[in-house]
C-alpha cells in the first residue's frame, strides 16, 4: 500500500505560501522607476511582470517545525516544471508536464511514505498521476508558475516600503508585510521581477527567483508507474 503524498508536498506548499503569500514586491530608486511607486503599486507591477514571464528558477530553504525544506525548481509558464524538494535529507525529484505529475523519491522518501516494502519496490522508479489527483495536487501547484505567482502576490496585510539595497547581486527595493511578516525584493533595473523573499523567525527562510525567461526544457520520464495501479494492487 502506498499512502498519499499530500502531507509531504502539502507541507512544502503551505510553507512556501506562508513565507511569500503575505509579502509583496520591491525595487530601486533608479533604473526602471519601480522604487518611486507606493508599496501597493510595487506589488501590482511586480505581479504583472512575473505573470508575463516565460520561465523562472526558484531556489531556497524554508523552515517547517524546525526542519528545513529546500526547493530547487525550474518553472515554465503554461508547461509545468521540474526540480527537487527535500526535507531533512528526505528528497524527491519532480516533473510536471502535459497534465501529469511525475516524482522519483530517494530511498528515505519512499520509506517515509510507504515503509521498507515500498522503498524496495520503488527504488529508482518514477511514479505518475494526473495533476488533478489528490495525491499530487499540492506538488502540481508548486510547479505551476502562474498559480505560484498568484498565490504569492495576490493578498497581503499592511505594507511598508524599505530602502533600496543589493540583493543577490542586484539592486532591489523591499516591501515588507508588517501584518504577516516577510519582505519581497524586486529588481529596480530591467523588468521589476521578484529577486528574493526573506522572512525571519521559526517559520521563515529565503526563496530566490533567478534566471527569468531563460530556456527550459521539460521532458516526461519514460516507464513511470501510475500510482493508481499501486493502489489497486494492494
Residue 233 falls within a domain, yes or no?
Answer: no
Residue 231 falls within a domain, yes or no?
Answer: no
Domain that holds residue 93: 6-226
Distance in angstroms (rounded) separating the CA atoms of residues 116 and 30: 57
Residue 1 falls within a domain, yes or no?
Answer: no
Structurally, the chain folds into a number of domains equal to 1
What pTM was computed for the model? 0.81
pLDDT tens digits for the chain (234 residues)? Answer: 333 444 444 545 554 555 554 443 333 334 899 999 999 999 889 999 999 999 999 998 877 667 778 889 999 998 999 999 887 778 889 999 999 999 898 888 888 877 888 788 888 999 998 988 876 777 777 788 888 777 777 667 788 999 899 999 999 999 998 887 788 899 999 999 999 988 877 767 888 999 999 999 999 998 898 887 766 555
Give the CATH number, domain containing residue 34.
2.50.20.20
- 57 sits in the region (left: phi over 0; alpha: psi -120 to 50; else beta) called beta
DSSP per-residue letters across 62-124: EEETTEEEEEEEEEETTTEEEEEEEETTEEEEEEEETTEEEEEE-HHHHHHHHHHHHHHHHTT
Amino acid at each position: 500500500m502506498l499512502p498519499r503524498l499530500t502531507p509531504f508536498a502539502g507541507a512544502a506548499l503551505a510553507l512556501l505560501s506562508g513565507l511569500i503569500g503575505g509579502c509583496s514586491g520591491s525595487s530601486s530608486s533608479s533604473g526602471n522607476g519601480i522604487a518611486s511607486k507606493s508599496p501597493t503599486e510595487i506589488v501590482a507591477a511586480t505581479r504583472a511582470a512575473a505573470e508575463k514571464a516565460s520561465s523562472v528558477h526558484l531556489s531556497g530553504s524554508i523552515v517547517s517545525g524546525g526542519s528545513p525544506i529546500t526547493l530547487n525548481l525550474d518553472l515554465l509558464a503554461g508547461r509545468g516544471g521540474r526540480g527537487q524538494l527535500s526535507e531533512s535529507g528526505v528528497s524527491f525529484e519532480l516533473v510536471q508536464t502535459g497534465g501529469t505529475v511525475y516524482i522519483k523519491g530517494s530511498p528515505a522518501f519512499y520509506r517515509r511514505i510507504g515503509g521498507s516494502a515500498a522503498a524496495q519496490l520503488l527504488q529508482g522508479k518514477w511514479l505518475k498521476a494526473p495533476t488533478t489527483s489528490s495525491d499530487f495536487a499540492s506538488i502540481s501547484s508548486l510547479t505551476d508558475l502562474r498559480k505560484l505567482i498568484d498565490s504569492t502576490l495576490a493578498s497581503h496585510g499592511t505594507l511598508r516600503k524599505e530602502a533600496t539595497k543589493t540583493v543577490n547581486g542586484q539592486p532591489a527595493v523591499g516591501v515588507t508585510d508588517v501584518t504577516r511578516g516577510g519582505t519581497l525584493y524586486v529588481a529596480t533595473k530591467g523588468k521589476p521581477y521578484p529577486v528574493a523573499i526573506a522572512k525571519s523567525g521559526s517559520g521563515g527562510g529565503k526563496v530566490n527567483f533567478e534566471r527569468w525567461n531563460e530556456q527550459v526544457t521539460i521532458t516526461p520520464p519514460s516507464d513511470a508507474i501510475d500510482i493508481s495501479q499501486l493502489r489497486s494492487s494492494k
